Chain A
Amino acid sequence: MTTERPSLEAAVVIVGAGPAGLACGLRLAQLLDEHREREPRLPAKDSIFILEKGRETGAHLLSGAVLDPSALDRLLPGWRERAPIEAAVADDAAFFLTSRRALRFPITPPPLRNHGNYVVSLNRLGKWLGEQVEAAGLTIFTATAGARLLFGERHAVIGVRTDDKGVDRRGERKANFEPGYDLKTPLVVLAEGPRGSLTKQLLGRLGLAGPNPQLYALGVKEIWSVPAGRMPPGRVWHTMGWPVPRSMYGGGWIYGLAGHRVSLGLVTGLEYHDPGADPHVLFQRFKTHPFVRRILAGGEMIRYGAKTVPMGGYYSQPPAAGAGWMLIGDAAGLVNSQRLKGIHLAIHSGMLAAEAIFDSWRTGDPAAVARTYPERVAAGAIRRELWTVRNFHQGFERGLFAGLLNGAAQMLTGGRGWRDPMLARAGHLRMQKLQAAPRHDWSLQPDEQLTFSKITDVYHSGTRHEEDQPPHLIIHDTDICNTRCIVEYGNPCQHFCPAQVYEMLPAEDGTKRIHVNASNCVHCKTCDIQDPYEIITWVPPEGGGGPNYEGM
């Protein structure tokens, strides 16, 4: 059935209202305000479209988060007085955990020093930034996903199609069907965060990647309300070691928030060998360590969530722009994995993109951004920061100690280390088959007080989807799940998914079959990244569906 689609012309379409997309929009509005009077031919603000799949701006934003203020200082001078900040970082420390003890590093390793930074909730900061964007006269189209890119001649991007609404599970129109719009535009800015669905469509079609594939980690997080005095606001603690097996990359965080709340979580590298690995279980165990348990005892879990982070760094960055498209923030792989920080780089890159776009409007040469934006990134703070840690994350392929040693070598050599570039294999290729893989114990008996099942946790993520809609987790061949993967890898999707989306359920004939609980999905994208056969594709569900990361 062909669909009559409404279509609109846009000067630029920004896909994703995270820190990157919001900074890009806001900077464009600022530049337009500064120059409008003298240059009346510049595009109107209502020709700038920002699309966000979450119900509200910020609904899908989850981060640690310790914020490096450098970018916001440039974007919104005076933001410290107005933005929602949990606390200025008051003290920081790093610990090495054994199963019973916590050994404090005598000095906090420099990358984990956070003096001058701020503890924030990215959800709240994003919501606030969204208000600034709206106040500057732009519109954020929430509950609206970019569903696919529109291509013109020679693979140039010429627009974005937004999601159809009111389609049932068989693909038929419901009474309230609303077709998605075709937004025709000379320029699409992809700010989708890690493993964006349009970004994947684009890079796949054009066959683009950095020297290394992107490497990812999955962060699993909870917010707790705890008795007064447990973790003062602005205290920032990082941990290494237990419960993460030494062959794996991972580490924990505990940050003191305002109002006797604590942000804590565990980041697990999606590049492990054991197909049974379960990042959610690791995080639950982390809380049972006496060091963590002491902080949480008598408290109450308030919210849960999980999200991936691109960790590959400089050599995993795909080209940042091309004909009709630009990548900013996590979509461009701009995360400093040594410091686990990406918010400031997302904002920086959004601003640079805006400045490049604005210049192209003035010179009347929209195609120029494909050259000028990557130049701006290469010339400034982003490259400076990422270049010195360009070989950091790759070092962890051989486990924790090799990684730390490599990290030290790089610090001495300005990032060069022993090999430069240090190459890496994609994480899903490192997963080993059941017979060959090292096996760890991944069992967990949640007590539902301190430790929780995935189901309880998902309930605390506020996740909701329209039930009657086409599947948004597309398994291209379920026979592979039911016959091959089950014997070769034991269906790792059941384990790596932090939201119990994937289950192997007994069928009538006694075999087990894959079952997808799509409405549990918290949009972390781990399945799209980590499935060893690469047969799962994550596409945006009907706009507005997904988690509700209030306070995350």
Chain B
Amino acid sequence: MRILVCVKQVPAKDAPIKVAGDGAWIREDVAYETNEPDAYALEEALRQREAHGGEVVALTVGPARAAQVLREALAKGADRAIHVAGDDAHRLDSYAAAEAIARAIAGEKFDLIFTGLQSEDYGYGQTGVVLAELLGIAHATIIMQVQPAAGGVRVKRELENGYFQYLNLPLPAVLTIQSGINKLRYATLMGIKQAKSKPLATVALADLGVSPSLNRQSVAKLYVPVKTKKTELLEGPAKEVAAQLAARLKNDLRVI
């Protein structure tokens, strides 16, 4: 099985993020890391390869700094990596990013393409889906489990309210992987050492004819939500207050 895993470098969620001067994106001077669901996607791909053989290729679309997530993927066991690089690569929307991926792998044949369920920065959850559309192949989202099945794979999808769906898909297919479906491995010393000699190809975004001008959506404004606190006292007999509270939680706040 040949598996492509798309990983994105996102701002690390361990420190507060500050909006940049132009109000359209964040200050670049933050720390970055591998998007969490993508780390699970990589782990799943490595496990599939260990169980069924084949090759795992990691791909990222991002500026120079994003090569770090590929080095990590190689250290954990990916066989090779492709960096679709461009200074403004982080400004692509899901559609343009999917275009970039589709064009970058034009000469290759993969049985499965894994992406994370969504990215932790923009969180559109679209790149994998659009990519499947562009490649004209099947896809399924929010994947909890992947198993080989006659003619393709059988997957488990997470639905709302604790429900799951089982599906069979033909290959090739794109699967967007949910966080937590496996236990992430650590890169070992040997893994880090071997990663140095694995192939890491760089493709320029410009050579693929992709730039943010392909974007179908633009960010109008980015802001940090102002925290507001409102205290309301519900008064009356306990029973009534409880009923009121339940109604408020259900209808106004919609948390139950």
- Residues of A whose CB lies within 8 Å of any CB of B are 6, 8, 46, 55-56, 59, 139, 141-144, 162, 165-166, 174-176, 178, 181, 225, 300, 302-303, 459-464, 548, 550-551
Kindly list chain B residues whose C-beta atoms are within 8 Å of the C-beta of A141: 189, 192-193
Also in contact, A178 and B68, with CB within 8 A (given A6-B190, A139-B192, A462-B14): no
Q: Taking the nearest CB of chain B, how far is it from the CB of A455, in angstroms?
A: 12
> Pick the contact of B188 from A178, A460, A462 — CB < 8 Å?
A178
A56-B189 contact, Cβ under 8 Å, with A176-B184, A459-B15, A462-B14 = no
Q: Separation in Å of the B16 CB from the closest CB of chain A?
A: 6
Report the minimum CB–CB distance from B179 to chain A (whole Å): 15
11 pairs, A vs B, C-beta closer than 8 Å: A56-B31, A141-B189, A143-B187, A162-B189, A225-B27, A459-B15, A462-B14, A464-B12, A548-B31, A550-B30, A550-B31
B248 interface residue (CB < 8 Å to A): no
Interface residues of B in 13-57 (CB under 8 A from A): 14-16, 18, 27, 29-31, 33
Residue of B nearest to A223 (CB): B29
Q: B187-208 vs A: 1/0 string, CB under 8 Å?
A: 1111011001000000000000
Whether the pair A302, B18 counts as a contact (CB closer than 8 A) is: yes
Given A143-B186, A162-B189: 8 more A-B contacts, CB < 8 Å: A6-B188, A144-B189, A175-B183, A225-B27, A461-B15, A463-B14, A464-B12, A550-B30
**Cα separation A300 to B29 with both chains bound (whole Å):** 14
Which 8 pairs of residues, A with B, have the shortest CB-CB distance? A462-B15, A464-B14, A548-B31, A165-B186, A550-B31, A462-B14, A178-B186, A181-B189
**Contacting residues, chain A, for B16 (C-beta < 8 A):** 459-460
Please give me the residue from chain B that is nearest to A174 by CB atom: B183
Taking the closest CB of chain B, its distance from the CB of A35, in whole angstroms, is 22
Q: Are B30 and A178 in contact (CB under 8 A)?
A: no
Minimal Cβ-Cβ distance residue in B for A304:
B15
How many Å from the CB of A493 to the closest CB on chain B?
Answer: 24
Bound form: Cα–Cα A8–B194 in Å: 13
Residues in A whose Cβ lies below 8 Å from that of B68: 56
Complex: how many Å from CA A311 to CA B159?
59
- B250 in the interface (beta carbon within 8 A): no
Interface of chain B residues 147 through 178 with chain A (CB within 8 A): none
Give min CB distance, B92 to chain A, whole Å: 23
Chain B residues touching A, range: 20 to 34
Among A139, A162, A459, A551, which residue has the most Cβ atoms of chain B within 10 A?
A139
Chain B residues in 8 Å Cβ range of A551:
29
Closest to B193 in A: A139
- How many Å lie between the Cα of A166 and that of B183 in the bound state? 10
Q: Tell which of A174, A175, A303 touches B15, judged by Cβ atoms closer than 8 Å.
A: A303
The distance from the CB of A548 to the nearest CB of chain B, in whole angstroms, is 4
Contact, CB under 8 Å: B189 / A225: no
Q: Once A and B bind, how many residue pairs between them come within 8 Å at the CB atom? A: 65
Q: Complex formed: what's the CA distance from A175 to B189 in Å?
A: 18
Partner of B31, one of A144, A459, A462: A462
Tell me, rounded to whole Å, the shortest Cβ–Cβ distance linking B182 to chain A: 9
Measured in the bound complex, the distance between the Cα atoms of B193 and A6 in whole Å is 14
Q: How far is the CA of A175 from the CA of B12 in the complex (A)?
A: 25
Q: In the docked arrangement, what's the CA distance between A144 and B190, Å?
A: 12
Q: Given the known inter-chain contacts A139-B196, A550-B29, A550-B30, please indicate yes or no for A178 contacting B15, CB distance below 8 A.
A: no
Residues of B with C-beta under 8 A to A174? 183
A460 near B15 with CB under 8 A, answer yes
Looking at B31, B185, B192, the one whose CB has the most chain A CB atoms below 10 A away is: B31
Beta-carbon contact of B186 and A166 below 8 Å: yes
- Is there contact, CB below 8 Å, between B183 and A176? yes
Provide the residues of chain B in CB contact with A175, threshold 8 Å.
183
A139-B192, A141-B192, A178-B185 are contacts. A302–B29 as well, Cβ < 8 Å? yes
A462 cross-chain contacts in B, Cβ below 8 A: 12, 14-15, 31
Tell me the bound Cα distance from A56 to B192 in angstroms.
13
Of chain A, the residue at the smallest CB distance from B184 is A176
Q: Which residues of B contact A302 (CB under 8 A)?
A: 18, 27, 29
Indicate if the CB atoms of A59 and B31 lie closer than 8 Å.
yes
**Contact residues in B for A550 (Cβ distance below 8 Å):** 15, 29-31
Contact B189 A8 (CB under 8 A): yes
